[in-house]
Structure formats: C-alpha cells, structure tokens
Amino acid sequence: MAAPGASLRLVAPVWNRGTSGIRGLSRSVDPEGSQRKGRTLLQFLADHFYDVEAVREYLLQKQVLKVLRKNRFQDKEWMRPNGRGLSGELWKLREVPIEAVDASGCAITYQGLDNLLALKELQSLSLQCCPHVDDWCLSRLYQLANSLRELSLAGCPRISERGLACLHHLQNLRRLDISHLPAVSNPGLTQILVEEMLPNCEVLGADWAQGLKLGPEEQSRDTASSPIPA
C-alpha cells in the first residue's frame, strides 16, 4: 500500500493492559506528537488511572482511523487492479516498497493473497476479522518470512491451530496477535505451543489459563499475569 513516507508506517504499537484484543489494533503512533504537548501530564495520569489510558487510546484511534480508511482504500486497489483506475498518487509511488498493509475486514481470499505475497518488503500485515482467511491462506505466508515482523490474525473465524502451525516459517516475526479465533479448539494450549514455536516473538492472544478452571488461590496470580514479551 503506497503512502507517502512514515506517516502510514505502522510502528510498534503501545499495548495497554486494560484493552481487549480487538481494540488493541496496531496503530500508528507518532512519537514526536506524543512527546510534544501534555505528554508528561497525560503520561502521569495514565500511569495511575486506567480511564486516562482509555482516553489516550480513543484519541489515538481517531488518528488511526483516518489512516486505516486510507489504508483500506489502497488495499481495495490492490485487490482489483483492473477494475478501478489507479489514482495518480498511487502511480507515482509504485516504486516505493510497501512496509505495512492493513487488510482488516477485507474479503481477501486465498487467490487474493497473491497480491500481498508479492510485497517482498512487507513488515506488518493485519488480517483481522477477514472472513475468508483460513488455514490454507496461512500456509502461503512463508513467502514473507524474510521481512514480516508483525502479523495480526485476530478475529478471523476460519483460522484454527492447524494453520497457526505453519507460521513457524516466519522467524523474523516479533509480534503475533492470535486472539479471538473462534475455530481454535484450545486457545490457551495453542498460545503456549505457538510461543514455543516462535521463541523470538511476542504472541498475543488468549491468556494461557483461558479455559482452565482455577482454584481460589490461583485467582490473584492470574490477574497479574500477562503475555511475556520476548
């Protein structure tokens, strides 16, 4: 997806504890912007109140939605290169290697992935809530193994642990989101196995204890645990 320079590059997002998986979209954080105004005050407040974090998120999300909208529009162009005319801007930027693609909610299929797999410099891919992305599609992602750092598969209804098993090719992956996958039979166990499979990657998804019945003494320990970053 072509866009001028760094503004559309999805930098490693800030993951907040209080958020659930879907809301934790990869978002572009403008480091200079957050440092400029009121960073100290908001930061201070955020450290102490979860609500402020939510407010910050909301503001960031507004910023991001604009980006995402443009993102998706560009994606549509990828999927239908012959149907619509390319905008002039896109044409000028066709030599620019694409670093990030957000295809959330797109009806991208196994064949449609051909377009994405041609992007050999792709670093971040988001396939959240894509209704047709299934295990077969995941088996094609090995072609992006050299460059892909971030992958989000949250909310895809057709992905199961069998497809997740073929993500082991993506050794450069640093962040993987596999939350809210309804077709995965054992989310907690799958999370552990995927973490073992990709030791350098931060895997976000189900808490390992999800699905387990906890005894009363383990309750407090559970709320404090969180995915361990690599």
Partner 1 sequence: MLRRALRLGLGPGLLGRGLGAHREGSTLDWHGKVSEIKKKIQSVLPGGAWSPLCDTSHLPPEHSDVVIVGGGVLGLSVAYWLKRLEKRQGAIRVLVVERDHTYSQASTVLSVGGIRQQFSLPENIQLSLFSVEFLRNINEYLAVVDDPPLDLQFNPSGYLFLASEEGATIMENNVKVQRQEGAKVCLMSPEQLRKKFPWMNTEGVALASYGLENEGWFDPWCLLQGLRRKVQSMGVLFCHGEVTRFVSSSNHMETAIGEKVTLKRIHEVHVKVDHSQEYQPVECAIVVNAAGAWSGRIAELAGIGKGPSGTLQGTKLPVEPRKRYVYLWHCPQGPGLEAPLVADPSGAYFRREGLGNNYLGGCSPAEVSSVGSGCRGEDRDRVSLSSQASLAGPVLVLMSRSPLALTWGLLPPSTTYQADRLKRPARPGSDVCPGQRKPCPHLCPQEEEPDPGNLEVDHDFFQEKVWPHLAQRVPAFETLKVRRAWAGYYDYNTFDQNGVVGPHPLVVNMYFATGFSGHGLQQAPAVGRAVAEMMLEGHFQTINLSPFLFSRFYLGEKAQEHCII
Shortest Cβ distance from residue 135 to partner 1 (Å)? 6
How many helices (H) and strands (E) are present in the chain, helices listed first? Answer: 9, 5
The answer to the question of residue 190 lying near partner 1 (CB under 8 A) is: yes
96 close to 2: Cβ distance less than 8 angstroms = yes
What b-and-e string marks burial along 101-123, b requiring 16 or more CB atoms within 10 Å of the CB? Answer: bbbbbbebbeebbebbeebeebb
Residue of 42, 54, 189, 209 that binds partner 1 (CB under 8 A): 189
Q: Which parts of 107-136 interact with partner 1 (CB under 8 A)?
A: 110, 135-136
Closer residue to partner 1 in complex, CB, 16/115: 115
Residue 50 or 136 having the CB closest to partner 1: 136
Residue 104 C-beta: closest distance to partner 1, Å = 23
Q: Is 62 exposed, middle or buried (0-12, 13-18, 19+ CB in 10 A)?
A: exposed
Select from 29-37, 58-66, 95-103, 139-147 the region that touches partner 1 (CB under 8 A). Answer: 139-147
| By CB under 8 A, residue 138 contacts partner 1 | yes
Total residues interacting with partner 1, rule: CB under 8 A: 24
Q: Where are the beta strands (DSSP E) in the chain?
A: 100-102, 124-126, 150-152, 175-177, 202-204
Dig out the tokens for 142 from the structure: 């090995």
Task: Rule CB under 8 A: say whether 191 interacts with partner 1.
Answer: no
CB of 138 to partner 1, least distance (A): 7
Q: Which is nearer to partner 1, 171 or 225 (CB)?
A: 171
